[in-house]
Amino acid sequence: MEPKRSKAAAKTRVPAWGSLMRWSLALLLFGAMGSGGIWISDRLQDPQSFPLKVVQIKGDFRYLDRKKLEQTMGEQLRGGFFTLDVEQLHAEILEMPWVAGVALRRVWPDTLLIMVQEQVPLARWGKQQLVTARGERFQPAAAEIPAGLPQLEGPEGSEPEMVSRYRTMQSHFDQIGLRIARVQQDLRGAWIVEFTDHSAIRLGNRQIDERLGRFIRLYPRLKMTGQGRPKQVDLRYTNGFVVHWELDGLNEQSAARPIKRNGLG
């Protein structure tokens, strides 16, 4: 009977050895896969394995210095297709004064596409800054400020209002052939507008639209009076205005012509 038990015991050991072999093979496979994963990760992190060979810059540039843009990029283009610090490059380009927006995209297998939106200046702001049509200020180098832009001056934080008012005013002045050179709003909210022909109007700080409309209606008649060129028109009156005339070849006429003086403001 004992030999029979030995044969049975021997039979039960066979599947145990088979399971051990299968587990050993599985461990070897997982180990190989793990090593392969580490090798692939190292390859991806190696800038020499997947280098960037092409950098494309897209955008319509009128003021932005392309060479400065390329120099800024060159200082940050470290790494390969997978290792390039895109966020850092994005931040550095966006710091350039003439850049309004930037988007970066990798294009497999070796290309970086950079799309740049340029700032579009509407007017000068203060002495050294520019302002866009959205009321956003930026400050390029003094030598890069375009000539011929109108000047806007107002309290801190009034940029959107100043831009909106300037654009509305200019649309009205186009009807009578005047171009704005400067718009100023002082701390009391009073408005002064100067034109490229060196004339000016004073609108005060109340009823701005009504006073502006009055000037638009009466300006053609002022030019036809034969008394010279209207040098300054003061509209800070409830139902009238004061005109300072500049005679041909002479300085401003000393006597102004008040229409009605009540309600100065």
In a domain, 236, yes or no: yes
In a domain, 265, yes or no: no
State the sign of the Cα–Cα–Cα–Cα dihedral 148, 61, 125, 73.
Answer: negative
In a domain, 184, yes or no: yes
Indicate if 105 and 211 belong to the same structural domain.
no
CATH of residue 179 = 3.40.50.11690
For 234-260, write each residue's pLDDT tens digit: 999 987 889 999 876 555 453 344 444
Indicate if 189 and 213 belong to the same structural domain.
yes
Indicate if 40 and 66 belong to the same structural domain.
no
In a domain, 142, yes or no: yes
d(CA 253, CA 39): 88
Strand partners, 129: 125
Q: Which residues of the chain are under the pLDDT cut of 70?
A: 1-50, 248-265
Nearest of 63, 162, 43 to residue 117 by alpha carbon: 63
Indicate if 140 and 238 belong to the same structural domain.
yes
pLDDT at 260: 44
In a domain, 38, yes or no: yes
Indicate if 134 and 224 belong to the same structural domain.
yes
pLDDT at 52: 86
Indicate if 31 and 68 belong to the same structural domain.
no
127 dihedral zone (left: phi>0; alpha: psi -120 to 50; beta): alpha
d(CA 165, CA 131): 13
How many domains does the structure of the chain reveal? 3
Which run of H or of E encompasses 121?
strand 121-125
Indicate if 132 and 78 belong to the same structural domain.
no
Give the total residue count for the chain: 265
d(CA 169, CA 122): 14
Indicate if 139 and 167 belong to the same structural domain.
yes
- Indicate the DSSP class of residue 146: P
Indicate if 147 and 243 belong to the same structural domain.
yes
d(CA 127, CA 137): 12
Task: Select from 86, 118, 150 the last residue of a domain.
Answer: 118
pLDDT at 216: 95
Indicate if 214 and 158 belong to the same structural domain.
yes
- Containing domain of residue 82, as a range? 54-118
pLDDT at 229: 81
